[in-house]
Amino acid sequence: MLKYINLGYKPKKRDVVVEYYVEPNGISLEKACEQIAAESSIGTWTTISTMNPTIAKKLRPTVFSINKRTKEVKIAYPPELFEAGNMPEILSSIAGNIFGMKVIKSLRLQDIHFPKQFVDSFRGPKFGITGIRKLLGVKNRPLVGTIVKPKVGLNARQHAKVAYEAWRGGLDVVKDDENLSSMKFNKFDDRIKLTLKLRDKAEQETGEKKIYMPNITAETNEMLRRAGVVKKFGGEYIMVDILTIGWASLQTVREANLGMVIHAHRAMHAALTKNHKHGISMLTIAKISRLIGVDQLHIGTVNVGKMVGSEEEELHIEHDIEDKFMSKNEKGHVLEQSWYNIKPVLAVASGGLYPGCIPKLVERMGNNIVIQFGGGCHGHPKGTRKGATAIRQALEATLSEIPLKEYAKLHPELKLALDKWGIA
């Protein structure tokens, strides 16, 4: 059988470098690495007569790093193994059958480093951070928004009214929840028409740009139809559940070049990311999402909100990091790294947030974020509009470096929020 381990190998600029966490099942770590490299590329479980030296030399990947203490492994794959611009095919190799092998107890795809020819084969974001800020006319501060609650149950008219109250209270954006699509009691087309009409009203009354992010998640052709409806009524954003629709569908939406910002919700990610010994890291999902072309992406709340998540990994995605295996174009935080012509992505923090979370979120995540509130807006003692006002006040206090409790003395909406939820 072919040998895939060469700890003296130095990855070439053209290689696709993949990092794994590996726990073998009844064999050595080295033998597990051999089988992972083989199964994810040109090999199989036994010697085969159809393998020839040319194929082996040109397409064989190399395991060039094995850390027995941490069980971390790095494999360099020649680019000829993959079809550029085809993310499903790439993942079918490096995240495919290898997860089902009996000789592997646990396996986690930790990270992927793509060479320039692969980066160039994807569109990346159409708008990115700069385009989003230009659209909203907001230069430096974080954007603040809400998710209409309850998740499902409101009819189209009620949904639009809740959105309007949030905008009037001072929020920049309102989005659908991940499981709201086109129910009998809340048809997609009706919701879009009514909500965007009230968005226009809120803009006229506040003098601020307001954004609605409708969830178009559905079968691929229906998603494109729904995107067309959004555009028809003046919408500038669409939202998709990137993992439940799949990478091919996401790429179809991006390749359609619809001229609208793509907001990426990561529903179902924890099925892949929650177990830190098995699955696929959120870091990897973030990289793939950016390559394909989302403009903003949920990455977590650095342990401030209700959702489980590794603060280290979330900051790895959103903040400065150093990694000796990165190319010079891949230094920096993942969503804003210099990836040749691929625009940076705006990070989204959402899940169990309330006004008292804002100082800690801004301290840890910076200003290039969208902070989204559900119950932390609509659960305000005085309702949605006052909840939105309290959020905006908390942001103003944070940016002015004024303690929230001090600012709340002259801002009753914020005081009520702090009395109910406190400060994170």
Neighbours of 256 (CB within 10 A): 14
Helices (H) and strands (E) in the chain, counts: 18, 13
Point out the residues that are catalytic.
149, 265
Q: Are 350 and 298 in contact (CB under 8 A)?
A: yes
Q: What are phi and psi of 274, to 5 degrees?
A: -65, -40
Least Cα distance to 241 among 274, 266, 273 occurs for 266
Q: Which two tokens stand for residue 336?
A: 């804003």
Say how many residues make up the chain.
Answer: 424
Rounded to an integer, what distance in angstroms lies between the CA atom of residue 211 and that of residue 263?
11
**Any idea which residue has 């993949």 for tokens?**
18
Q: How would you class 100 by CB atoms within 10 Å of its CB: exposed for 0-12, middle for 13-18, buried for 19 or more?
A: exposed
Return the half-sphere exposure (C-beta side, CA atoms, 13 A cut-off) of residue 22. Answer: 33
